[in-house]
Structure 1
């Protein structure tokens, strides 16, 4: 396990912001600020993992859909219009 060094601690600016959050009553203690920061970081990591999984599934679905085919933009637009009942 890695041990903390002085350069691992919050910067002076971060320490001031933590202290300000406690002094203004937004948080009860420095530990509470850090616990909230860790909770938010964990949520962000969970969301990132979910997004990566969603992209992986979309990629796999794309591969499974078969080879790409060329299509003319005008033909594609005409098909969309036909499907929604527009004339054009």
Structure 2
């Protein structure tokens, strides 16, 4: 099978390989076809639908924890994350 790509499609594929996200143009095409196949499936069996089904109970658990007052203030979470990133940067230098 021979396929002719539009210049913008070729540039996109080359950019994906250059970025290191994919090792080859073939891998970019394979990933694109996988997404197309997934989106062509009935929604009940798609990867997205599976993700939704796996995520709903986790969200429900989180909401229940918040309702019980077990949440952490957003500013505290941000401060903790910033501290972790600061420590990571210090260790890499």
Same-fold status (TM-score > 0.5): no
- TM-score normalised to structure 2 length: 0.43
Larger radius of gyration: 1
- TM-score normalised to structure 1 length: 0.45
Higher helix share: 2
